[in-house]
């Protein structure tokens, strides 16, 4: 089947109320017609995702936002103009007709226009916005290849569109416009610095909250089965010497321990390349039946912030 034929079939499935996994520039999504509550409910079932966790609505044209949101603050407009299509999600007050299951009963809706030819062609062809979370079981790492989706959700979805590896590799940046000052709910593919260069200072939500406004903000999220340790110290490496250890390195590591396996995220030290490789590298380590994974810390700047956010959530002991 050619890509065009596959997109055609996928659109047909979505129009009939089915669910389709599709590539975006960030991670693979699991999509349904945003205005078909039963189809959206199946996404929650397949992912075992709690119903209090709302979905992002994907559009193929910025003008669609006017139909989905009550109002678009000028800062949101500026960012949409600058970064769409791209890894930026805006949270706005929603129009009444968006089904509650999509917004989890909140008065708001999260919207983004992905920068991936297959995703855009799919949305255009089904002629409806597509509600889609990342195509992984709830709480696990997001998939960045069609293979990842097949491994974990394979027979439970109606079709998987294969667009190869996702070029960005971490999820979209989520910004909320409900308060006077825009608020960063999740760092992601568009860096905070890039956003602030367009609209000035934004508020930053801390990871730990009693009642998260985005469950992607739950401390333990994006977690592999193998424990990941981020706060390790060379001084303590002796205590790990009888263990099977994997190492998640930014660049080439110095060889001070016999690691079972090493994953290098970017030999040349490029944050973009590191982000694009992050989830695949963790999955490869997670498949090796290791006792633990030591991860190297990234500087908290640019994409390093999104990478550190995902690593922290993957290491958190709390459920």
86 interacts with, out of Mg ion, ligand TXA, none, CB within 5 to 8 A per kind: none
Closer by beta carbon to ligand TXA, 11 or else 245: 11
Task: Give the strands of the sheet with 20-22, arranged side by side.
Answer: 159-160, 20-22, 29-33, 130-132, 56-58, 108-112, 88-93, 173-176, 183-186, 203-204
Q: Does 108 bind ligand TXA (CB under 6 A)?
A: yes
Shortest Å distance, C-beta 171 to Mg ion = 6
72 interacts with, out of Mg ion, ligand TXA, none, CB within 5 to 8 A per kind: none
| Residue ranges in contact with Mg ion by CB under 5 A | 134
Q: Does 54 bind ligand TXA (CB under 6 A)?
A: yes
Look up residue 243 and give its two tokens.
């263990």
245 sits in which H/E element: strand 245-249
Closer by beta carbon to Mg ion, 54 or else 246: 54
Number of other residues whose CB lies within 10 A of the CB of residue 241 = 9
How many whole angstroms separate alpha carbon 39 and alpha carbon 43?
Answer: 7
Query: Following CA atoms 167, 205, 44, 4 in sequence, which dihedral angle do they give, to the nearest 10 degrees?
Result: -20
Instruction: Identify any residues that bridge with 160 across adjacent strands, giving them in sequence order.
Output: 21
Cβ contacts of residue 22 below 8 Å, gap of 6+? 10, 28, 29, 31, 118, 119, 122, 130, 132, 160, 161, 163
Instruction: Identify any residues that bridge with 21 across adjacent strands, giving them in sequence order.
Output: 30, 160
Q: Tell whether the torsion through CA atoms of 203, 100, 150 and 127 is positive or negative.
A: negative
Shortest Å distance, C-beta 216 to Mg ion = 6
Answer for the pair 157, 20: CB distance below 8 angstroms, yes or no: yes
Q: Which of 171, 263, 286, 309 touches ligand TXA by CB under 6 A?
A: 171
Q: Does 26 bind ligand TXA (CB under 6 A)?
A: yes
Q: Does 215 bind ligand TXA (CB under 6 A)?
A: yes
Shortest Å distance, C-beta 238 to ligand TXA = 39
Closer by beta carbon to Mg ion, 26 or else 134: 134
Smallest CA-to-CA distance from 24 within 111, 132, 184, 107 is with 132
Q: Which of 85, 86, 133, 187 touches ligand TXA by CB under 6 A?
A: 133
Shortest Å distance, C-beta 142 to Mg ion = 5
Q: Does 130 bind ligand TXA (CB under 6 A)?
A: no
Q: Does 55 bind ligand TXA (CB under 6 A)?
A: yes
Q: Does 227 bind ligand TXA (CB under 6 A)?
A: no
Look up residue 39 and give its two tokens.
């189809």
For residues 275-294, which are near ligand TXA according to CB under 6 A? none
Shortest Å distance, C-beta 318 to ligand TXA = 16
Question: Would you tell me which residues interact with ligand TXA (CB under 6 A)?
Answer: 24, 26-27, 29, 53-56, 87, 89, 91, 103, 106, 108-110, 112, 114, 132-134, 171-172, 174, 185, 213-216
């Amino acid at each position: 089947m050619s890509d065009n034929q596959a997109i055609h079939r996928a659109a047909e499935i979505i129009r009939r109320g089915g669910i389709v996994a599709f590539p975006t520039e960030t991670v693979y999504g699991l999509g349904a017609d945003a205005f078909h509550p039963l189809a959206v409910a199946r996404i929650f079932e397949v992912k075992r995702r709690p119903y209090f966790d709302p979905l992002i609505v994907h559009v193929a044209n910025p003008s669609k936002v006017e139909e989905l949101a009550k109002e678009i603050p000028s800062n949101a407009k500026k960012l949409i103009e600058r970064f769409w299509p791209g890894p930026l999600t805006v949270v706005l007050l929603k129009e009444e007709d968006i089904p509650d299951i999509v917004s989890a009963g909140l008065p708001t809706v999260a919207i983004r226009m992905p920068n991936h030819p297959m995703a855009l062609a799919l949305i255009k062809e089904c002629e409806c916005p597509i509600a889609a979370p990342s195509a992984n079981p709830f709480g696990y790492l997001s998939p960045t290849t069609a293979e990842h989706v097949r491994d974990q959700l394979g027979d439970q979805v109606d079709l998987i569109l294969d667009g190869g590896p996702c070029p960005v590799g971490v999820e979209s940046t989520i910004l909320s416009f409900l308060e006077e000052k825009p608020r960063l709910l999740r760092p992601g593919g568009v860096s905070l610095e890039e956003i602030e260069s367009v609209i000035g200072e934004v508020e930053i939500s801390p990871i730990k909250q009693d009642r998260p406004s985005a469950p992607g903000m739950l401390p333990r999220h994006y977690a592999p089965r193998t424990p990941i340790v981020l706060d390790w110290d060379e001084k303590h490496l002796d205590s790990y010497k009888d263990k099977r250890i994997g190492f998640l390195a930014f660049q080439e590591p110095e060889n001070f321990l016999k690691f079972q396996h090493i994953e290098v995220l970017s030999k040349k030290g490029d944050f973009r390349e590191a982000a694009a490789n992050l989830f695949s590298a963790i999955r490869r380590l997670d498949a090796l039946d290791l006792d633990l994974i030591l991860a190297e810390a990234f500087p908290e700047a640019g994409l390093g912030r999104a990478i550190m956010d995902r690593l922290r959530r993957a290491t958190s002991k709390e459920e």
